[in-house]
Amino acid sequence: MTAVVVAKDVSRRFGAVAALDAFNLEIAAGSIVGLIGPNGAGKTTLLRSLLGLTRYTGNIAVLGLDPMRQRAQLMRDVCFIADTAVLPRWMRVDQLVDYVAGIHPRFDREQALALLETTDVGLMRQVGKLSKGMTVQLHLALVMAIDARLLILDEPTLGLDILFRKRFFEQILADYHHSERTIIISTHQVEEVEDILTDVAFMDKGSLLLQESTQNISQQYVELHALGDQVSRAREIPHVGQRAIAGGRAFIYQGIQGEVLTRLGEVRTPSIADLFVATVTAAGESDV
């Protein structure tokens, strides 16, 4: 598949801190990628680099364009939602919708209004008088109504209640199946997005730890829940990571058939969140 994003040996330093350290990433067209990492992993710096909003060394191509030299052209096909929505506070909601319709040729006004109908954001309300959650809902409705080839979401649902978050991710999935969009989602709410992701990219300390399709994860990784005396036997088998569970420990293995482990306990596919924790923990131990 055609690569929408290609980053090669990308680095960005803030003083002594390497926010990105010889970072490499490739994202195929039509994928929904979960960019997952702890605070300070470099996720936001990476997204800002892809958008040409911060300087870096190395090479980046987004939709075949250089973000630093061709940013105006790039933003015709890219939409971005930051973790903090910034909208003109003096406008009414209906005025803001009209304004976006007037300046963006790919904005679907009717779709934006349909999305707003599912919220408590009234069209006659002033943006500056909306709550934080309503402001985020408004921002999401405006951006989701733009027919962009690449949608970049940096913690898009901060400040939203669980019902709207669920509705929002369902909307993303519906749009994905009816378009050729590529979507990058940076989020701490891993459990809420893992069912819609086609790929994951784990980051920590400015480096890419793992990039894999969710389909391959279910084929390559297994999780064993070992209890009692079986824990010591399970620990002897080389594993990616482990954690405590009631009455025993859970182990994640790579490249081992589940049938081999069934005599030691219950075998399942690990969640993305648990695989991420195991991967980051293993990377930290290897640095010691």
Kindly compute the dihedral angle of the four CA atoms of residues 192, 164, 38, 55, in this order, to the nearest 10 degrees: 120
pLDDT of residue 208: 94
Residue indicated by tokens 């930051």: 82
pLDDT of residue 40: 86
The 10s digit of each residue's pLDDT in 110-148 is 999 998 988 889 899 999 998 877 888 888 889 888 888
- When pLDDT is cut at 50, 70 and 90, the band that residue 85 belongs to is low
Nearest residue to 61 (alpha-carbon basis) of 183, 175, 150, 193: 150
pTM for the structure as a whole: 0.86
Q: Give the integer Cα–Cα distance in Å for 52 and 12.
A: 13
Nearest residue to 115 (alpha-carbon basis) of 137, 130, 134, 99: 137
pLDDT of residue 203: 93
Q: Tokens at residue 229, please?
A: 């005396």
Q: 74 pLDDT exceeds 90?
A: yes
Decide which of 3.40.30.10, 3.40.50.300, 3.30.70.1050, 3.30.429.10 is the CATH code for 3-77+148-205.
3.40.50.300
Domain ranges of the chain: 3-77+148-205, 216-287
- When pLDDT is cut at 50, 70 and 90, the band that residue 80 belongs to is confident
As a whole number, the mean pLDDT across the chain is 88
Q: Give the integer Cα–Cα distance in Å for 79 and 92.
A: 22
- When pLDDT is cut at 50, 70 and 90, the band that residue 165 belongs to is confident
Q: 288 pLDDT exceeds 50?
A: no
* Mean pLDDT computed over 231-239: 94
Lowest mean pLDDT among 3-7, 89-93, 255-259: 255-259
- With 0-12 / 13-18 / 19 or more C-beta atoms within 10 angstroms meaning exposed / middle / buried, residue 174 is exposed
* Mean pLDDT computed over 7-21: 94
Q: 169 pLDDT exceeds 80?
A: no
pLDDT of residue 48: 94
Category of 63 on φ-ψ map: left (φ > 0), alpha (ψ -120 to 50) or beta: left
Higher-scoring residue by pLDDT: 157, 224: 224
Q: 207 pLDDT exceeds 90?
A: yes
In 3-state terms, what secondary structure has residue 175?
helix
Q: 9 pLDDT exceeds 70?
A: yes
DSSP character at residue 126: B
Q: 286 pLDDT exceeds 70?
A: no
Q: Give the integer Cα–Cα distance in Å for 247 and 225.
A: 10
